[in-house]
Copies of this chain bind each other. A is one copy, B any other.
């Protein structure tokens, strides 16, 4: 079992030995200025990434046959350069089956995936419109798809960029959708809930998360909006008598959920539920990005009442944690 994580290494003394398992995210041959060859590794686990250096690749305690995507057991110690931390690797071998858990190797939701899934199923169950319920039941009865839905991150790096992030984001939106639908009688709650569940469904194909988070080539060429629409179109094609107009509305919500052409939605929201989906999706992503940013600032040792650095996901704004700032001043 893995008990030392990359996040822990920041606090380690230089030179103190440790053993742990990591996922190999990169591996390159290099040469020192004195012309000595060495290996430069990028190692990851669910708490982050770190550089590793094998200064003596010829050492018999360093195996030769590992690649990007392998889990390896490493013995070494921490060294620091400028403000960055790195691992000096003394021994390295591939992990044996069962020695390490893949789920430990990539960042993952801190919530219980089983619980999240039950909340999703409860939301489907709560839908009164029989056609929308049929559609969701059909989609979620595909085992491969639901497995992917439980695992997929919501993005490569912008927000919810961790295993289970897509599901976590959708479940948060389901709660928000219920609150918003209760507030505005104009909204058809069942349609909005359906839009929430399906809006990012294409991400299970747009992204791959086996060996780090990345886009598939198909994902880059087509995008998760089109991939999700196709999934829904083909599912509906298998549902006899599914109403044409309802199909159009569901597809319109997926197509328009980014809210602007320049964000990759080919259509703007033109029905109340699409407008609502666009707002809560954008809002939840930004609230999560704020939360992640405050956690990162804390991890990096910033005082709780300092502004964060400029945050890419929020237009390069700096952010301030209200409660921490008020508390610090005793106000």
Interface residues of chain A, those whose CB is within 8 Å of chain B, are 14-15, 28, 30-33, 35, 40, 79-83, 172, 175-176, 179-180, 182-184, 186, 188, 191, 217-218, 220-223, 225-226, 229-230, 233-234, 237, 243-246, 248-249, 251-252, 255, 261-273, 275-276, 279, 282-283, 286-287, 290-291, 294, 305-307, 314-315, 317-323, 325-326, 329, 331
Contact = CB atoms under 8 A, between A and B. Distances in A.
Given A175-B183, A179-B183, A271-B319, A248 B329 contact: no
A262 B315 CA distance: 13
A226 B251 contact: yes
Contacts of A331: 243-246
Contacts of A268: 314-315, 317
Contacts of A15: 35
A273 B225 CA distance: 22
Chain copies in complex = 6
A80 B31 CA distance: 6
Given A30-B82, A81-B33, A248-B221, A186 B279 contact: no
Contacts of A234: 233-234, 237
A103 to B, nearest CB: 26
Contacts of A263: 261
A78 to B, nearest CB: 10
A269 B221 CA distance: 8
A35 B81 CA distance: 9
Contacts of A229: 226, 229-230
Contact of A266 (B223, B290, B314): B223
A18 to B, nearest CB: 16
A15 B83 CA distance: 27
Given A183-B175, A265-B266, A323-B188, A329 B243 contact: yes
B320 A217 contact: yes
Given A28-B83, A251-B226, A322-B271, A217 B261 contact: no
A291 B186 contact: yes
A203 to B, nearest CB: 14
A325 B266 CA distance: 22
A320 B271 contact: yes
Contacts of A320: 217, 221, 270-271
Nearest to A286: B275
Most buried by B among A28, A225, A271: A271
A179 B187 CA distance: 16
Contacts of A249: 221, 322, 325-326
Nearest to A311: B270
Nearest to A224: B266
Q: Which residue of A81, A226, A286 has the most chain B CB atoms within 10 A of its CB atom?
A: A226
